[in-house]
Amino acid sequence: MAIADIRTQFTADLASVCTDADQKALRDQYLGRKGGAVAGLMKALGAASPDQRPALGQQINELKQHIETTLDQRLASLSSARRPAGAVDVTLPGRVPAIGRLHPLTQLRSRIEAVFARQGYEILDGPETEDDWHNFEALNMPPEHPARDMQDTLYLSGPWDRPARPVGAVRGGGPSGPRVSGADVPHPATLLRTHTSSMQIRYMESHEPPVRVIAPGRVYRRDNLDLTHTPMFQQVEGLVVGEGVTMADLKGTIIGFLRELFVPDIPVVFRPSFFPYTEPSADVFIGCQRCKGAGCSMCKRTGFIEVLGCGMVHPAVFEAVGYDATHVTGFAFGVGIERLALLMHGVEDIRLFYENDLRFLEQFPL
Amino acid sequence: MKVLVSWLRELVDVPVTPEVLANDLHMAGFEVASVDPQPPSQPPDAVIDFEITANRPDCLSMIGLAREVATKYGTTLRAPRGADLGPADASRLDPLTVTIENPTGCPRYCAAIADVTVGPSPAWLVDRLTAAGIRSISNIVDITNYVLLELGHPLHAFDLDTLAGSALHIRSARAGETLTTLDGQKRALLPEMLVIADRDRAQALAGIMGGGHSEVSAATTTIAIESAWFEPTSIRKTSKRLGLSTEASHRFERGADVAAAGEALARACGLIEQIGGGTVRRGWIDACASVPAPRVVRLAYARVGAVLGADVHVDDIRRILTGLGFVLAGEAVDHTLASVPSWRVDVSRDVDLIEEVARHYGYDRLPATFPALAQVPPRPDARLEQDGELRRLATAAGFSECVTFSFISEKSAREFAPADELVAITNPLSELFAVLRPSLLPGLVDAVAHNRRHGQRDVRLFELGTRFLRGTGESRTLSLAWSGAATSEHWSGRARPADLFDLVGVVDVLGRAMGLTLQVQASVRPWLTPGRTAEVHAVDAGGGARLLGVAGHVQASLTTARDIPAHDDVLVAELDLNAVSDLVTMLGVASAHPLPRFPSIVRDLSILVDESLLAAQVRGTIQAAAPVTLVRVAVFDRYQGKGIVEGKVSVSYRLTFQALDRTLTDAEADAAMATIVDALTKAHGAVRR
């Protein structure tokens, strides 16, 4: 066989080398001392004419070196592909530690709390069962006030003298120290609070201004369960009281809050409204994030969605808690966490938040 | 309030299209529910439906909204003109007499008489009522409704010939009295309800609805028209009590305009003559027990800026208030005295005036600023901070957070708490929400069941919230539920099902995070499986144990009733955070100790004891007998079966000895072990293996 043919044949044979044994067999076939192809060529070299011999010898040597080098490379690549002892398939799934998730409403509530905590607001906790004074009367809603219809109330069977649950950290001494007002007389609980404003009353009853608090928590209304209503939901209400607090401050606070929660360029619109405990009062709308203001089913084709209510604290509320309404002004706002959650996450059925289906809960961040 | 714009144009110039008008009034506080275009006309027409807030009964009328329009655009208001009725008498207009017997409920009652021909209304009248959503009935009834819409003042027409004694008495209903109202309902009246009666009996429910007997019919020839003012609270109570709300009651209970009673009467009489419905007799009755003088409110101009945070010019303030009908007296530079028009029942303080200014000045023109921070912000309520930490730990332990309703069915509540501890809701909307939850567990077990039904076998849930017990009130509670595997599913082997010790371990972590020392002991709860129920106690400063909560297997009867398969255990724990709030040191500052400098000695000890002997007892004996150098006791094996006598159990302990001041010798450890084994043998008959 000619040298060139052997070289071609070797290249073809090399392609089928998969194991060390294949490699060894091939080496024997070409480089074996007896019967190897190269050995055959060397034998034939003796028969060649002396003037051809040096050139032919050089070609044979080159072929031999080529085969050796190529086989060595193949051997190296075969051994590097071999799995070392104890090797595992690292692409198999790992053992995932069980990590639970916070409820989306808690996640959103924490975000809201963080925004206000950063602005120096104290975060309050307070009772969910309330008396008429803290839920209605002190908020400028005397008995038979038509505004009571706005919030259909759930009442408790038999007043309940539950142990007090203090609202707000007790501060020592000084102008903002704890105070005791006539309204501190305990009232038995007769209803489920319809808003967390009741905590604001409790806080003002026990603290002198300035006040800067938010009151998050569960509230209750006599509403049927449907796509957008539940008899229980969560609110965050805010209250700022002090000298020189204005409606412009309210606007800045709300706009800043909504921009941080949604997007920095979100349109925010204030429209006059009515709440018994604020005067002037406002409803706040944001530009619909789904249609970007063009009008869609979510915003009822208006381009805007109502997200919260707010206003300047009514002087009657200050009088009820013993604040001097001629010296201090204040603003208050209230936002429904579920409502914001529906908008932010594009959820269309509020009941999903209460079914606690892990397939739903696991759609929210760890 | 549905407003036909072409009707509004009769009362005020509207220099804009209906769409612009709707938007402008929307931004002035009158929420627009809808704008329905009308057939093409010049200028364009539409029906705008406004949601009127409860404080603005004056705008439940065309004239009220026209006043807003006039103020908004600086155009002129044209009040409709009524008939000249001549002089008024306090009680008599032959043959009618009016007697106010309850002046508190009815401070003013006006009436006139007309001889009429009852028939259909002209087309324009029918069209306007229809646009406002009111059905045409007859010319006379339509006119009363027209004036109600135009001026916001409800009227009522009686068939005068049906009134016994031609008399109208405004009085409280008599005990046992009944009245069949215009809607055909026979209603039992109560003494706190105000009625309009003739000589013999009630003929109308004051301010709410007329009676069938004195109703204007096709046969009516003479009518008495009532234009009165009723006390709002009384109307509201009666309306609620009877579940009867009408256009009239809606206005009276929010507050009608007491001064408008005569004007509305004159307007109705003028319209009757205008449409050829009849002739109005000269003279009218104005029985007026008392009409309050207009309120005067002092407004310091500086206060406008102080509340709004905007520099509103005095001229703007005066223009807006005057436009809305306030009469401004006093020419002082720093304040004005505003007489409140009788229709503005919502205005009694300076802030009410400031709101009017702000509405028409435009909320959008107010600047956006931030309140100054006057003091160091306090930390959040410690309870909320602890809640956050506990949530973090619970999720780290694999539990996902639930939010379940705070009220549950009475049946569920009774399964998890004694009946006398339950707080019920008087007016629940559903049986499912009838009782405040005495425990978070019913909601959690329901959530486990929901997930189980939807194909999730391995469920770990927790909730942190309030439970309500009559004895202890509201308490912050952390509850956990665990069903399915203790480990995540993996290809390398079968998952081990969770057992009580998995859950007790999590409770232990939560307890330690709160800085509590916990003790666990066997107990019984009706909703938990006997023999698999533990009470968890926190040790207080005096060494006493305080009940923190329970952990255990939920009774199979409760889980199977919720469609959870019988072979699926549901483990639960419920911790009352209020019970230990004074012991919690979470979020406090930890003090650190140096690490031990000398090596420790570890010894294993296997003993054979009765299987009924509690692990806690053995541990107690070991700790009592051991020297202070015993720093750790761990159980590392527990074995029953081959090679162990029936009724006995082999338990293996790993004991760690360590001294802070020296290296312990083997001899010391041997001596300690001998003492411990001796004590175990004496106390429990333990045999060392």
Q: What is the CATH number of the domain that holds B616?
A: 3.30.70.380
Which among B395, B405, B427 is the nearest to A100, CB-wise?
Answer: B395
Kindly report the nearest CA distance between residue B351 and chain A, in angstroms.
Answer: 6
What is the predicted pLDDT for the residue at A167? 66
Q: Averaged over A45-70, what is the pLDDT?
A: 85
Closest CA to A125 of B357, B395, B36, B581: B581
Please check the confidence at residue A82 and state whether its pLDDT lies above 80.
no
Residue B593 is assigned to a structural domain of this protein: no
Check A155 against B426: CB less than 8 A apart.
Answer: yes
Residue A1 pLDDT grade (very low, low, confident, very high; cuts 50, 70, 90): low
> For chains A and B, what is the number of CB pairs under 8 angstroms?
260
Q: Which site among B31, B51, B370 would you substitute to test the A interface, given the most A Cβ atoms closer than 10 Å to its Cβ?
A: B370
Domain match, B279 and B303 both: no
Return the structure tokens found at B404. Answer: 């379940």
d(C-alpha B353, C-alpha B338), whole Å: 9
B382–A contact, CB cutoff 8 A: yes
Which chain B residue is nearest to residue A245, measuring alpha carbons?
A: B371
One-letter amino acid for residue A250 of the chain: L
Contacts with B461 from chain A: Cβ below 8 Å: 356
Q: Which of B374, B380, B398 sits opposite A123 (nearest CB)?
A: B380
Residue B587 included in any domain: no
Is B236 within 8 Å of A106 when comparing Cβ atoms?
A: no
Identity of the residue numbered B406 = S
Average pLDDT over residues A284-307: 86
Three-state SS at B459: strand
B249 to chain A: closest CA residue: A146
Task: Please tell me whether residues B281 and B328 are part of one structural domain.
Answer: no
A135-170 pLDDT, tens per residue? 999 999 888 776 676 668 899 987 776 655 556 654
Exposure letters A328-337 (e unless 16+ CB within 10 A, then b): bbbbbbbbbb
Question: Residue B642 is encoded by which pair of tokens?
Answer: 């081959």
Residues B565 and B653 both lie in one domain: no
A88 pLDDT band (50/70/90 cuts)?
Answer: confident
Give me the pLDDT at residue A145, please: 75
CB contact under 8 A, A357 and B450: yes
Q: Which domain holds residue B469?
A: 382-580
Query: Using the 8-state DSSP alphabet, how is residue B16 labeled?
Result: S
Looking at the domain assignment, is residue B591 inside a domain?
A: no
Assess B497–A contact: CB distance below 8 Å, yes or no.
no
Residue B175 counted as domain residue = yes
* Architecture of the domain made up of A104-361: 2-Layer Sandwich (3.30)
Cβ–Cβ below 8 Å for A232 and B388:
no
Q: What is the pLDDT of residue A177?
A: 38
Domain count, chain B: 5
B585 found inside a domain: no
- The SS3 call for residue B255 is coil
What pLDDT score does B584 carry? 87
Nearest CA in chain A to B372: A245
* Phi, psi for B225 (deg, rounded to 5): -100, 125
The answer to whether A354 contacts B404, with C-beta atoms less than 8 Å apart, is yes
Closest partner CB to A156 (pick from B403, B426, B461):
B426
Q: Read off the pLDDT band of A295 (50, 70, 90).
A: confident
Nearest chain A residue to B392, by CA: A102
**Contact state of A163 with B233 under an 8 Å Cβ cutoff:** no
Cβ-defined contact of B367 to A251 (cutoff 8 Å): yes
Instruction: Evaluate the CA torsion angle B372, B378, B383, B385 in order and state its sign.
Output: positive
- Nearest residue of A to residue B428, measured between CA atoms: A154
Nearest to B578 by CA among B466, B498, B459: B466
Q: Name the residue among A281, A47, A32 with its Cα closest to residue B358.
A: A281
B469 and B544, same domain (yes or no): yes
Nearest CB to B427; choose among A117, A154, A168: A154
Single out the residue in B580, B609, B635 at which a domain terminates. Answer: B580
Closest-CA distance of chain B to residue A345, Å? 17
The Cα–Cα gap between B166 and B600 comes to 110
- Give the HSE-up count for residue B210: Cα atoms under 13 Å, Cβ half-sphere: 22
Higher pLDDT, B590 or A1: B590
Rounded CA gap, B569 and B458, in Å? 11
- Classify residue B386 as exposed, middle or buried by CB count within 10 Å of its CB (0-12, 13-18, 19+): buried
**How far apart, in whole angstroms, are the C-alpha atoms of residue B443 and residue B574?**
12
Is B368 inside a domain boundary? Answer: no
- Shortest CB distance from A358 goes to which of B404, B459, B490? B459
Q: Tell me: pLDDT of A112 over 70.
A: yes
* Exposed/middle/buried for residue B295 (C-beta within 10 Å: 0-12, 13-18, 19+): middle
CB contact under 8 A, A279 and B377: no
Tokens linked to A85: 């002892």
Asked if A358's CB is within 8 angstroms of B488's CB, the reply is no
Task: Specify the pLDDT at position B650.
Answer: 94
pLDDT classification of A242: cutoffs 50, 70, 90: very high
**Can you tell me the distance from the alpha carbon of B632 to that of B626, in angstroms, rounded to the nearest whole number?**
11
- Reduced to 3 states (helix: H, G, I; strand: E, B; else coil), residue B97 is strand
pLDDT in tens, B276-321: 889 999 999 999 866 788 999 999 999 999 999 999 999 999 999 9
The CA–CA distances, whole Å, from B684 to A339, B168, B329, B354, B673 equal: 63, 97, 98, 84, 16
- B451 contacts A356? CB cut-off 8 A: yes
| Location of structure tokens 């609270």 | B233
Hey, where are the domains in chain A?
3-78, 104-361
The pairing of beta strand B178-180 with beta strand B2-4: unpaired
Q: Is B363 on the interface with A (CB under 8 A)?
A: yes
How confident is the model at residue B270, as a pLDDT? 94
Give the gap in angstroms from C-alpha A195 to the nearest C-alpha of chain B: 15
Half-sphere exposure of B110 (CA within 13 A, CB side): 26
| Residues B29 and B171 grouped into a single domain | no
Residues in chain A: 366
- Can you tell me the mean pLDDT for A316-328? 93
Choose the final residue of a domain: B255, B288, B321.
B288
* Helices B139-151, B247-254: crossing angle, 10 deg rounding: 30
- Chain B contact probe: residue of A103, A223, A319, A331 with most B CBs at under 10 A: A103
Give the residues of chain B that fall short of pLDDT 50: none
* Contact B51/A at CB under 8 A: no
Chosen from B353, B425, B496 to mutate, greatest number of chain A CBs within 10 A:
B425
**Residues B278, B135 share a domain:** yes
| CATH number for the domain that contains residue B193 | 3.50.40.10
Taking CA–CA distances from A97, the nearest residue in chain B reads B488
pLDDT at A163: 55
Contact B394 A223 (CB under 8 A): no
Instruction: Among B26, B304, B324, B355, pick the best mutation site for testing chain A contact (most A Cβ within 10 A).
Output: B355
CB contact under 8 A, B380 and A171: no
Per-residue pLDDT reduced to its tens digit, B396-447:
999 999 999 999 999 999 999 999 999 999 988 889 999 999 999 999 999 9
CA of A364 to nearest chain B CA: how many angstroms apart? 11
Residue B523 and residue B639 in one domain: no
Mean of all residue pLDDT scores within chain A: 86
> Is B302 within 8 Å of chain A by CB?
no
Of B73, B97, B120, the one marking the end of a domain is B73
Does B397 lie in the same domain as B435?
Answer: yes
Residues in chain B: 689
Q: Reduced to 3 states, what is the DSSP secondary structure of residue B137? A: coil
**What pairing do the DSSP bridges indicate for beta strands B2-4 and B31-37?**
unpaired
Same domain, B270 and B188: yes
Q: Where are the alpha helices (DSSP H) in B441-486?
A: 441-453
- Contact status, residue B519 vs residue B536, Cβ threshold 8 Å: yes
Q: Kindly state whether residues B307 and B420 are assigned to the same domain.
A: no
Strands (E), B185-301: 186-188, 194-197, 202-205, 209-210, 222-229, 278-280, 284-288, 296-300
Asked if residue B258 and residue B131 are part of one domain, the reply reads yes
> CB of B362 within 8 A of CB of B27?
yes
Same-domain status, B448 and B574: yes
Nearest by CB: B54 against A100, A162, A274: A274
Q: Residue B662 and residue B170: Cα distance in Å, rounded? A: 101
- CB atoms closer than 10 angstroms to residue B313: 11
For B:26-45, CB contacts with A below 8 A are: 26-29, 31
Residue bearing tokens 């950290």: A169
Contact assessment for residue B337 and residue A256, using Cβ atoms and an 8 Å cutoff: no
- What distance in Å separates the CA atoms of residue B17 and residue B252, rounded to the nearest whole number? 32
Nearest CB to B401 within list A100, A124, A144: A100
Does any CB of chain A come closer than 8 Å to the CB of residue B394? yes
Contact at CB, A251 and B366, closer than 8 angstroms: yes
Coil, strand or helix at A333: strand
| Cβ pair A274:B384 closer than 8 A | no
The C-alpha atoms of residue A105 and residue A192 are separated, in whole angstroms, by 20
